[in-house]
C-alpha cells in the first residue's frame, strides 16, 4: 500500500522538539523528510542516556528521516540549500523570526526558486509582533500562558516547572495540521505559501479551561475541577489508581453511597447538591480513599462499583504500558535500529489507515550520514561535486560513538 504523503519532499531545518515532532509525523505519513543539520548538529543528539551512541530522546522524534549536514553560513551552503528547495514541497524551520532573513532564506526567496513550496515556521510568539524575537522553551511558555499558575492553584502549592514539554508537543501537532492544510490548498491554487505557528497560541488552544478563566470565574469549580471527579488514590497493594466517577448527578453520588455502605452519607449536608460536593470534594475524597484501599487492582474496584458507573485506571510507567497486551495488539511501540544491532523502543504514530501504509520508519541516521546518497538522488550531484563541498566545509558528518553512555 502507498503512504498518504509518499510523493512529498520535506526539508527539515528544525531542531529540539516542536519542529521535529511535526516532521516525524510527516515522515510517518510517508513524506521523504530530509533533516538539514548545522555542523554542531541538533542539540538533542547529545542528551543522555544513550544507546549505542544515540540519544533515545533524539531518536523518538527523528527516526525515519534522512540526515544531511549543511553549513548554511558557509560560502556555497545557502546556494546548495536553495537548489534542494527547487525539488522540495515543504520547508520547516523553528528559528527565531529574524534568523531566516539573516540567512537569506525568507519565503520570498524560497518561492522565487520554487513557487509551489510551503514554508512552515514555528516560533514562541509568532511573527510580526513585539515579542517575535524572544526565545521560547516549553517551560517559559507554560509559565506565561497560564499553565504553571493554574496547576499550582489547583494543587494549592507553589508554582513549579512541569517536566513534560507540553507546549512543544501540542505546537508540533498544530504545525502538522497547518502545513497539511497548506498542501491541500496548493492542490486548488497551484501555489505554495508561508504558514507560521506560535507555541503560545498552541498552548492556549489546548488549555480547555482558558475560556472559563477569561470569565473571571474559578475554573476549578467547573467540569474538570470537581464535577467529573478523578482522584488518584492508593490501592491495598501500594500501587495507585485514577478513579473517574461522575458526581454531577444525584445518581452518580447515590452509586458512590451504595458501594461504600456508609450510614448517613447519602443525607450528609456536606454533599447534598453538586455545589456542595465540589466545595467539599477533599472531604469526599478522604472518605472514598478508605473504600478504595480495600482493593488490589483497578479491575477489582471497577467490578465492585460497576463498570458502567466508574473508570478505574492503574497508574503505570511507560515501560509498564508497553508490556501490556493492548500495546502488543496495537503495535503501540516499535524498535528503531541504532545502526549497530541495538534498538531504541519508541512510540508508534497513532493512526491506522484502512487503505494506506503509515508509521515510523525504524531507522535513525547520524549527522550527515545521507549527505552523499541524498544529494545524488535529489540533485544528481556527482561524487566529485560532493567531495568538493566537503572540502569547502559546506558538508560535514559525524558518526556517533558506538558505546553505551549513561553518564
Q: Tell me how crowded residue 145 is: count the other CB atoms within 10 A of its CB.
A: 21
DSSP state of 366: P
| pLDDT more than 90, % of the chain | 74
Q: How confident is the model at residue 254 (pLDDT cuts 50, 70, 90)?
A: confident
H/E stretch holding 66? strand 66-69
Nearest CA among 82, 162, 91 for reference residue 121:
91
Short-list 276, 274, 305, CA closest to 291: 305
Q: Which tops the pLDDT comparison, 402 or 171?
A: 171
Cell of 162: 512541569
The DSSP element (H or E) to which 229 belongs, if any, is strand 228-229
Write down how long the chain is. 407
The residue to which cell 491541500 is assigned: 184
333 pLDDT tier (thresholds 50, 70, 90): very high
How many whole angstroms separate alpha carbon 141 and alpha carbon 147? 8
Distance separating alpha carbons of residues 366 and 41, to the nearest angstrom: 9
Q: CA-CA distance, 284 to 269, in Å (whole number)?
A: 12
**Choice among 49-53, 111-115, 321-325, 373-377 with the minimum mean pLDDT:** 49-53
Residue 142's pLDDT band, with cuts at 50, 70 and 90, is very high
Per-residue pLDDT, 404: 45
- The yes-or-no verdict on residue 359 having pLDDT over 50 is yes
15-24, 52-61, 195-204, 219-228: lowest mean pLDDT where?
219-228
Mean pLDDT calculated for residue range 137-158: 90
| Residue of 220, 222, 215 lying closest to 248 (CA atoms) | 222
Q: What is the pLDDT of residue 347?
A: 98
Q: Is the torsion defined by CA of 146, 152, 153, 155 positive or negative? A: positive
Residues 154-178, mean pLDDT to the nearest whole number? 93
Grid cell for residue 78? 545557502
Confidence of residue 400 (pLDDT cuts 50, 70, 90): confident
User: Are the CB atoms for 347 and 376 separated by under 8 Å?
Assistant: no
Task: Give the separation between CA 70 and CA 73, rounded to whole angstroms.
Answer: 9
The Cα–Cα gap between 370 and 384 comes to: 16
For residue 65, which phi and psi values (nearest 5 degrees)?
-95, 150
- Check residue 324 and give its pLDDT: 97
pLDDT for residue 74 is more than 80: yes
C-alpha cell of 395? Answer: 558538508
CB 364, CB 54: distance < 8 Å: yes
Domain with CATH 3.30.1540 in the chain: 240-314
Mean pLDDT calculated for residue range 73-100: 96
Give the C-alpha separation, 1 to 46, whole Å: 36
* pTM beyond cutoff 0.75: yes
Class of domain 9-208+326-391: alpha beta
Band of residue 337 on the pLDDT scale cut at 50, 70, 90: very high
Give the chain's mean pLDDT. 92
CA 228 centroid distance within chain: 26
Q: What is the pLDDT of residues 189-216, one digit of tens each?
A: 999 999 999 999 999 999 988 998 899 8
Give the mean pLDDT of 347-372.
96
What does the pLDDT average to over 283-312? Answer: 92
Q: Which residues contact 82 (CB under 8 A, 6 or more apart)?
A: 105, 109, 110, 113
**What stretch(es) of the chain map to CATH 3.40.50.10540?**
9-208+326-391
Residue 228: pLDDT band by 50, 70, 90 thresholds?
A: low
Q: Is the Cβ–Cβ distance between 62 and 54 less than 8 Å?
A: no
Q: Answer yes or no: is pLDDT of 154 > 60.
A: yes
Cβ contacts of 101 within 8 Å, gap of 6 or more: none
Q: Region 216-221: what's the mean pLDDT?
A: 72
For residue 407, pLDDT over 50 is answered with: no
pLDDT in tens, 160-171: 998 889 999 999
User: What is the C-alpha separation between 350 and 115, in angstroms, rounded?
Assistant: 33
Return the percentage of the chain with pLDDT > 70, whole number: 96
Taking residues 237-257, what's their average pLDDT? 85
Confidence (pLDDT) at 225: 46
* Rounded (5°) CA angle 21-25-31: 125
pLDDT at residue 405 above 60? no
Q: Can you name the residues that pair with 395 across neighbouring β-strands?
A: 70
State how far the alpha carbon of 278 is from the alpha carbons of 200, 225, 263, 284, in Å: 31, 8, 21, 9
Name the architecture of domain 240-314.
2-Layer Sandwich (3.30)
At residue 279, the pLDDT reads: 81
pLDDT in the model for residue 226? 44
pLDDT-derived band of residue 270, with 50, 70 and 90 as boundaries?
very high
3-class DSSP state of 309 = coil
Amino acid at each position: 500500500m502507498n503512504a498518504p504523503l509518499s510523493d512529498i519532499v520535506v526539508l527539515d531545518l528544525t531542531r529540539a522538539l516542536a519542529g521535529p515532532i511535526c516532521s516525524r509525523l510527516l515522515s510517518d505519513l510517508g513524506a521523504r523528510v530530509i533533516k538539514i543539520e548545522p555542523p554542531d548538529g541538533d542539540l538533542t543528539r547529545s542528551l543522555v542516556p544513550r544507546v549505542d551512541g544515540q540519544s533515545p530522546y533524539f531518536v523518538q522524534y527523528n527516526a525515519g528521516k534522512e540526515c544531511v549536514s549543511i553549513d548554511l553560513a558557509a560560502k556555497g551552503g545557502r546556494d546548495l540549500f536553495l537548489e534542494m528547495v527547487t525539488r522540495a514541497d515543504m520547508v520547516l524551520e523553528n528559528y527565531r523570526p529574524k534568523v531566516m532573513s539573516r540567512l537569506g532564506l525568507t519565503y520570498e526567496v524560497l518561492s522565487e526558486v520554487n513557487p509551489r513550496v510551503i514554508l512552515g515556521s514555528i516560533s514562541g510568539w509568532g511573527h510580526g509582533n513585539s515579542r517575535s524575537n524572544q526565545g521560547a522553551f516549553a517551560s517559559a511558555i507554560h509559565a506565561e500562558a497560564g499553565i504553571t499558575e493554574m496547576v499550582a492553584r489547583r494543587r494549592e502549592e507553589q508554582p513549579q516547572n512541569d517536566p513534560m514539554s507540553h507546549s512543544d508537543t501540542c505546537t508540533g501537532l498544530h504545525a502538522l495540521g497547518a502545513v497539511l492544510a497548506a498542501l491541500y490548498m496548493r492542490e486548488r491554487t497551484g501555489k505554495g505559501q508561508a504558514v507560521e505557528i506560535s507555541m503560545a497560541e498552541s498552548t492556549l488552544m489546548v488549555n480547555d479551561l482558558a475560556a472559563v478563566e477569561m470569565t473571571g470565574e474559578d475554573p476549578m469549580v467547573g467540569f474538570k475541577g470537581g464535577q467529573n471527579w478523578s482522584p488518584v488514590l492508593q490501592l491495598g497493594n501500594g500501587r495507585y489508581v485514577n478513579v473517574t466517577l461522575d458526581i454531577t448527578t444525584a445518581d452518580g453520588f447515590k452509586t458512590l453511597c451504595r458501594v461504600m455502605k456508609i450510614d448517613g452519607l447519602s443525607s450528609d449536608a456536606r454533599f447534598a447538591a453538586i455545589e456542595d460536593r465540589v466545595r467539599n470534594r477533599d472531604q469526599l475524597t478522604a472518605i472514598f480513599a478508605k473504600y478504595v484501599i480495600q482493593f488490589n487492582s483497578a479491575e477489582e474496584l471497577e467490578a465492585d462499583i460497576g463498570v458502567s458507573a466508574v473508570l478505574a485506571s492503574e497508574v503505570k510507567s511507560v515501560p509498564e504500558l508497553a508490556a501490556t497486551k493492548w500495546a502488543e495488539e496495537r503495535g503501540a511501540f516499535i524498535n528503531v535500529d541504532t545502526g549497530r544491532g541495538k534498538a531504541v523502543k519508541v512510540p508508534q504514530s497513532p493512526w491506522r489507515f484502512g487503505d494506506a501504509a503509515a508509521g515510523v520508519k525504524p531507522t535513525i541516521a547520524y549527522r550527515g550520514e545521507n549527505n552523499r546518497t541524498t544529494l545524488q538522488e535529489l540533485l544528481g550531484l556527482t561524487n566529485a561535486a560532493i567531495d568538493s563541498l566537503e572540502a569547502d566545509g559546506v558538508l560535514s558528518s559525524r558518526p556517533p560513538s558506538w558505546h553505551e553512555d549513561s553518564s
